[in-house]
């Protein structure tokens, strides 16, 4: 989607409904794309600020992405259900389980693969890419077990430009939070002057400035100093604070 104008005016919330996302169906892979990706191209949805990929992927048992290269991208995966096995050219190899996060800064270049090691269950995960604030640099890798450790009715900071409050430092001017709210509760997040927000619902339902967001829905928020999120049903979600 188009980035905000140079001179912000009135508050704006642009919903990206789950059923309007792009689709890739490969038998072993069922993917929904919030932004243009691979063979799915929509000039109106080329990313939002530094957020350039947000894929909702289901990989069938035994399926996966073979070894392939990346560079100059901040990449993380959040496993919603099942397991995801990661291997890369840095020597990392691990099975990431539901509730866990994996981060990779591709930097000057890295090769990796992602497979569902289960012979019975599908793996469901979100794959997110951000455009880095700088090109090159040595690749980085990190993992985080979130699971039930995320506090209820609160935002847990996952990634930020500088390591703080338990967050992993990334090469982008962005803050990424995991949120958990029970029905009827609400919370706020100050974005900062000139910044934009993206909210992606994993489970449940949220109210965002009068827009109802259900499972798989996302929304861009511009010209708003503070996000106000209210749960219509028990909800889990990601919040991006982007320069």
How many structural domains does the chain have?
1
Answer yes or no: is 91 within a domain: yes
pLDDT tens column, 62-87: 999 999 999 999 999 999 999 999 99
Report pLDDT for 87.
Answer: 96
> For residue 226, what are the domain limits?
12-242
Residues 165, 81, 118, 20, CA torsion sign: negative
Structure token pair of residue 172:
């982008």
Answer yes or no: is 2 within a domain: no
Report pLDDT for 112.
Answer: 97
Answer yes or no: is 199 within a domain: yes
Q: Which among 125, 55, 54, 56 is positioned nearest to 85, based on CA atoms?
A: 125
SS3 of residue 171 by DSSP = coil
Answer yes or no: is 4 within a domain: no
Contact partners, residue 45, CB within 8 Å, separation at least 6: 1, 16, 22, 34, 35, 36
Domain with residue 175: its CATH number is: 2.60.120.10
Structure token pair of residue 74:
């901040």
| Three-state SS annotation for 90-115 | CCCEEEEECCEEEEEECCCCEEEEEE
What string of pLDDT tens digits covers the 243 residues of the chain? Answer: 755 444 456 889 999 999 999 999 999 999 999 999 999 999 999 999 999 999 999 999 999 999 999 999 999 999 999 999 999 999 999 999 999 999 999 999 999 999 999 999 999 999 999 999 999 999 999 998 886 678 899 999 999 999 999 899 999 999 999 999 999 999 999 999 999 999 999 999 999 999 999 999 999 999 999 999 999 999 999 999 999
Report pLDDT for 12.
Answer: 94
Answer yes or no: is 5 within a domain: no
Answer yes or no: is 7 within a domain: no
Report pLDDT for 6.
Answer: 43
Q: How far is CA 81 from CA 77, 113, 179, 214, in A?
A: 12, 19, 17, 18
């Amino acid at each position: 989607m188009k980035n905000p104008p140079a001179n912000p005016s009135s508050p704006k919330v642009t919903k990206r409904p789950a059923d309007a996302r792009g689709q890739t169906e490969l038998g072993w892979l069922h993917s929904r794309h919030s932004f243009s990706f691979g063979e799915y191209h929509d000039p109106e949805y080329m990313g939002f600020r530094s957020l350039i990929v947000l894929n909702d992927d289901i990989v069938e048992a035994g399926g996966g992405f073979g070894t392939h290269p990346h560079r100059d991208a901040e990449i993380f995966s959040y496993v919603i259900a099942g397991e995801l096995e990661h291997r890369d050219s840095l020597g990392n190899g691990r099975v990431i389980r539901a509730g866990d996060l994996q981060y990779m800064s591709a930097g000057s270049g890295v090769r990796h693969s992602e497979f569902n090691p289960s012979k019975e269950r599908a793996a469901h995960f979100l794959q997110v890419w951000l455009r880095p604030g700088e090109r090159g640099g040595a690749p980085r890798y990190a993992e985080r077990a979130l699971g039930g450790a995320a506090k209820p009715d609160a935002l847990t900071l996952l990634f930020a430009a500088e390591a703080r409050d338990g967050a992993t430092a990334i090469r982008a001017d962005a803050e990424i939070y995991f949120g958990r709210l029970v029905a009827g509760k609400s919370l706020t997040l100050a974005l900062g002057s000139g910044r934009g927000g993206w909210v992606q619902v994993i489970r449940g339902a949220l109210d965002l400035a009068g827009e109802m967001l259900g499972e798989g829905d996302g929304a861009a928020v511009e010209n708003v100093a503070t996000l106000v999120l209210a749960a219509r049903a028990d909800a889990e979600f990601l919040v991006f604070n982007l320069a």
